[in-house]
């Protein structure tokens, strides 16, 4: 069954171009031209991925992202014409999995889409693979993290970062290595993407932001305690 992608942009010519390229690649598409409609269609149609423009009528893309993250964990790729770092960081902080700056090539966008879909659509398995570390219980098959029995809502990207650090507990992983491994394509532009994702993950795991994921200044991040290094 082909993946279903919700395209959200108020410029119809851009929507038509994206729709053409996505259908050619075998995807199904849904379209929305304002923030309110985007939220409604995302919740009703349950797409596999959302392409979300920042500049939208009614609700802007940041507001849409925030509202959707309160209800669903569907991968969101922000589309922005702005180069300012603040816009990219804000989108990631609100729960976006990725962003692409306009103008972009169809090839680049398709690579991002495929990467995010691969990580989100985890096949069902007969047995759950559980990892218990400190007071966390991580179910890789369900993309689920629990702390003291309570589920912690993570995006697919945040989960991938966590499980990679856990599997390499005590080993310092550079931001470049995380970007190459977790984001899964040749994208070496903005290391801030890694920093923001780590920051959001820390906030979700504990009020003590250094309880699980530590920073080795100038080197990268690691899961564990300082005395492990």
Structure tokens at 33: 């031209």
How many whole angstroms separate alpha carbon 11 and alpha carbon 54?
12
Mean pLDDT value of segment 125-152? 81
Q: Where are the domains of the chain?
A: 4-120, 130-228
Residue percentage of the chain with pLDDT more than 70: 88
pLDDT for position 82: 63
pLDDT for position 125: 42
Of the ranges 55-69, 112-126, 176-190, 193-207, the best mean pLDDT one: 55-69
Residue 123 has pLDDT above 60, yes or no: no
Mean pLDDT value of segment 10-29? 94
Q: What is the pLDDT of residues 35-69, one digit of tens each?
A: 999 999 999 999 999 999 999 999 999 999 999 99
Residue 122 has pLDDT above 90, yes or no: no
Would you give the DSSP letter of residue 136?
A: E
pLDDT for position 84: 61
What CATH number should be reported for the domain whose range is 130-228?
Answer: 1.10.10.10
* Mean pLDDT estimate for the chain: 86
Residue 189 has pLDDT above 70, yes or no: no
Which of 185, 202, 8 lies closest to 93 in space, CA to CA? 202
Residue percentage of the chain with pLDDT more than 90: 48
- Coil vs helix vs strand at 64: helix
pLDDT for position 218: 87
Q: What residue ranges in 57-179 does DSSP mark as E strands?
A: 76-80, 98-101, 130-133, 136-139, 144-147, 150-152
pLDDT for position 68: 95
pLDDT for position 16: 95
How many whole angstroms separate alpha carbon 144 and alpha carbon 203?
16
How many whole angstroms separate alpha carbon 88 and alpha carbon 93?
9
Structure tokens at 147: 């702390």
Give the pairing of strands 76-80 and 49-53. Answer: parallel
What CATH number should be reported for the domain whose range is 4-120?
Answer: 3.40.50.2300
Residue 150 has pLDDT above 60, yes or no: yes
């Amino acid at each position: 069954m082909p993946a279903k992608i919700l395209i959200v942009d108020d410029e119809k010519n851009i929507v038509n171009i994206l729709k053409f390229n996505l259908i050619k690649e075998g995807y199904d598409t849904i379209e929305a031209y304002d923030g309110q409609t985007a939220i409604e269609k995302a919740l009703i149609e349950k797409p596999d991925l959302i392409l979300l423009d920042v500049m939208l009528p009614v609700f802007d893309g940041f507001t849409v992202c925030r509202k959707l993250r309160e209800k669903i964990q569907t991968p969101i790729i922000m589309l922005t014409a702005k180069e300012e770092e603040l816009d990219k960081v804000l989108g990631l902080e609100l729960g976006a999995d990725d962003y692409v700056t306009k103008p972009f090539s169809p090839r680049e966008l398709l690579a991002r889409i495929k990467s995010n879909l691969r990580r989100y659509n985890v096949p069902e398995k007969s047995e759950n693979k559980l990892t218990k570390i400190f007071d966390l219980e991580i179910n890789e098959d369900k993309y689920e993290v629990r702390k003291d029995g309570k589920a912690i809502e993570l995006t697919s990207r945040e989960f991938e970062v966590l499980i990679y650090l856990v599997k390499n507990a005590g080993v310092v992983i550079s931001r470049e290595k995380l970007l190459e491994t977790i984001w899964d394509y040749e994208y070496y532009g903005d290391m801030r993407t890694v920093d923001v994702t780590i920051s959001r993950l820390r906030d979700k795991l504990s009020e003590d932001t250094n309880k699980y994921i530590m920073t080795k200044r100038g080197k990268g991040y690691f899961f564990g305690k300082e005395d492990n290094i």
